[in-house]
Amino acid sequence: MSHRPTPPDASGPLTQSLFAAASAAQRRAVRNRARRLAKARQAARSESDTAAPRRSPRQKLGDAGEDRALSLLQSAGCRLLARQLRCPLGELDLVMREGAELVFVEVRTRSSTRFGSAADSISAGKQRRLARAARWWLRSLARDHFDGNIPPCRFDVVTIDATTLCWHRDAVRPSPD
């Protein structure tokens, strides 16, 4: 018969002091982790306030194209109402006002024509998304810029192929769906 040692009493003073020490160490570790996370969040917040969001090269090309299109439209007398309006149905690149008309502008930029021109890239699906996004924003834009009255609207396209900039007025005719 072998002799088995008996385990120490779980309610003994040694076990209780070990448990208390372990609990205190765990509380300190949790507090320190919370402090580190709070510092990291604060650093990320202050960094995001000062730094522009990271943009891919393709997005940077699109942003530069929008800047060029905006300059062209403003020099022709259009006034910027909104830029890069996003909604669940799509995005509107530029929303302009020309006289009493509301103009939704799609800007298409291509660095080369190897895969087709910028104008070729506006498919029927893209036209539907533009119309749906415009409908989503129409009441809000009318309220903010046209005294609540729905103004006449049109869809223009500004294409930029390599270095050629072209403004196509009333280029997209959405279907009434």
Residues 152 and 79 in one domain: yes
Q: Each residue of 95-145: pLDDT tens digit?
A: 999 999 999 999 999 888 788 888 888 888 899 999 999 999 999 999 999
Domain range holding 120?
57-172
> What mean pLDDT comes out for the span 73-82?
96
If one counts the domains in the chain, the total is 2
Q: Are 93 and 84 in contact (CB under 8 A)?
A: yes
Q: Each residue of 79-92: pLDDT tens digit?
A: 999 999 999 999 99
Residues 124 and 168 in one domain: yes
pLDDT at 67: 94
